Structure 1
Amino acid sequence: MSTSHSPDHGEPGGSQVTVPGPATVASGAVGFAKARRSSLLGAIFLMATSAIGPGFITQTATFTATLGAAFAFGILVSIVIDFIVQANIWQIITLSGKRAAELANAAIPYSGYLLSVLVILGGLVFNIGNIAGAGLGLNALFGLDARIGGAISAVLAIAIFLSHRAGIIMDRAIIVLGIIMVGLTIAVAVVANPPLGDALRQTVLPDSIDFAAITTIVGGTVGGYITYAGAHKLLDSGTTGPEHIKQVTRSAFFGIAVTGIMRYVLFLAFLGVTASGVMLDLAANPAAQAFEAAAGEWGMRAFGLVLWAAAISSVIGAAFTSVSFMTVFSAKLNMRARSWATVAFIAVGLVVFLVLGTTPVALLVFAGGFNGLILPIGFTVFMYIAWFRRDLLGGHRIQLWLLVLGTLMTALTWYMGAVSFGTIFKFLGA
């Protein structure tokens, strides 16, 4: 996520009025269309990079080690839930033209405040996990103790956030490292030679179903602040109104498809390693161990770099987006105050990580589970808006098929949260 902010250059100067000619109008229209496409791609990229973070990687390694090929079903269900949740939220927010908390308050008084508290709390839990993930990355890369690595990474994340130039460089580095991660994962998946037949069968006919694992993966990819990050980016770009609904839905589908494919390839890489008889130490760094088993030491070191980069980017992104929800409590919270609040947010996450006494892996798994538990609360509010408060959506209705599926997913996420609640909190004791 970019941490830099461009000043507004739209203020007119002087009283001279220039009438644009046809060529200028055409050029402007093309430029606007390109900017619109760029904003949609930006929303997709924001959602994808938020979803494919250290938590997702570590959770996938952990659950593949414990559930084997049966986890394929969990991945399929999580992809379906992710798309339905994201497409509904994107449509509702872009039709309303309001940010999530403001829209919730307009529909149900004070619900926006509750949503903000949940997102900020969930973002803090995410960030504790992200700092833990950065520590695991430096552990795989240099052999550093994960707590020392987490502390170094949190301090560096604050420095990157405060330096606009460093933030731009980091954004570009993340793209390159993301490409390396995709290539490395595909290579490991091929080398690991997973049992494809069994994986495909259990994608639709699993030997067992673990709702805690599904809730955790869903929470790690579309829970907490991630649910609203892409939609808010679309708002910032002016992509609002019914004329953009099809574009928004396609973008949500494409973003989930990209992350879904990556998720399944990662699962296959880990499955190949565990199916070969390699026992992963779930209390240590199972994802790095899997890459080392399949690709040797260079694979583990490269994976450590990718995991660290994903983690430190997620630290900044989770903090910045979570703090943005604080504006619902005070309209006077300017950009400078939000910047310092973001720094404090990262610092608090670091302190909690250092004193909690729980392993980084357990923190990463719990972070996804916790955000999976709070996901249905906010989603219920937005389903209510979609069904009964069309006045807040300019009189328009969400596509009926998506609305029906969204209602079913709301019930399912509540059910999964209820049956997996105790298991998720037990992750902290791992």
Structure 2
Amino acid sequence: MSPRGGSKSSTVSAVRRADEDSDRYRPPAAGAGILRRIWDWVHDGPLVHSYYALAASAILLFAFGCMMVLSSSAVESISADRSAFYYFTRQAFLGLFGVVAMFTLSLVPSRVYRRFAPVAFWVASAGVLSVILFGYEVNGNQNWINLGGFTFQPSEAAKLAVAIMLGWYFGRREGTIRGIKGFLWPSLAIVGLPLAGVAWGGDAGTAIIFGLIYAAALYFAGAPRLLFVVAGLGAAALGALAVVMAPHRMERVTGWITGDCDVAGSCWQAQQGMAALATGGWWGVGLGQSRSKYNYVPEAHNDYIFAIIGEELGLIGTVFILVLFAVMAVAMARVLLRSTSTFERVTTGGILAWLIGQAFVNIGMVTGVLPVIGVPLPFISYGGTSLIMCLAAVGVVMSLTRVTRDSSGGPRSRDDGGPNPGHDDLPGNVHPLRSREERI
């Protein structure tokens, strides 16, 4: 071979070696470096930061919500011959109880949640099904129970119980589930039992949230993608059936799609909510200065409290709320990415889908992105049961940050209660956390 050919061969070999080296690390393209840094920041950040971020964001949302409940409900309270602080004091008292529950649950070991998950699930499901016999109707939905003058909504407790129960189930069955049928049954019964009571009571909004929790659990448990296509088509069919069977829902959805509906009827709430947001502009009309809360916006202190926030505090106030929910979402996402247990991953994913998904549905409803569905804004809308359970759910995830932090050293439990296996024996899709250098 000629020297020239040899030189060419050497050059080709050098290029191949360079290509092989590039498989291990390639400089990110323009713009990709920012995404990589964001990913590393979310994935590699200290989990103790997530613990405090979850606590701070939940408490700030609760405090902000109490302030807005006072502002939006004072007029209604006075018109009903009550104290202007009637709704505020109830919300603040139950919220403080929820904060105590949040920090208490943050100290509970993960193995305790796994051990009592079935008990909590059956108790919560029994509470939801009891509304069929003992429930009473509020705003067209029979999902409330009055016990000794204290009213509560069992479906709110069932959301947390279902998220933990799904984590328990998929954790115990990890590595043994095969195919779509294996993922759906019997896990579908876990969400289907409380969902039956919610559907019977006519609460379509809560039914949607249960669907989000179940979808997140399936995704983080490793269900095949085809399952989500089939489930999406099935959910769309059931949703269309629910809309067709209820004239008021049909009118809301058609009005949302076409923009042509009775502004004095089914579209009154949506139109007034949009008008309140438009009135607020950038800076708002001032705290306590809303005009829409004078019985123009129905449920001003509940489902449509975001419209009052936009009117009184403007775009700045609404963005502040979105930032707090974003902080909570990132903190929970970090727990998801760092978890080495299916129970932790599925439970956190279900709670994340519940809290952030419900916030998205509520804000989308108020801003016109979605039709009027009727779900409260987590931590902010008036409602003691919802507030307590949202804070409790954050406490559960906070406890999982402690478990995940401890997983790097020292013994820990598997999802089935046995000793923690070594990295070489980790089953299924459970992988040890790799360092940033190893991932590169």
With normalisation by structure 2, the TM-score equals 0.31
Structure of greater relative contact order (alpha carbons < 8 Å, 6+ residues apart): 1
Larger-gyration structure (1/2): 2
| Greater fraction helix | 1
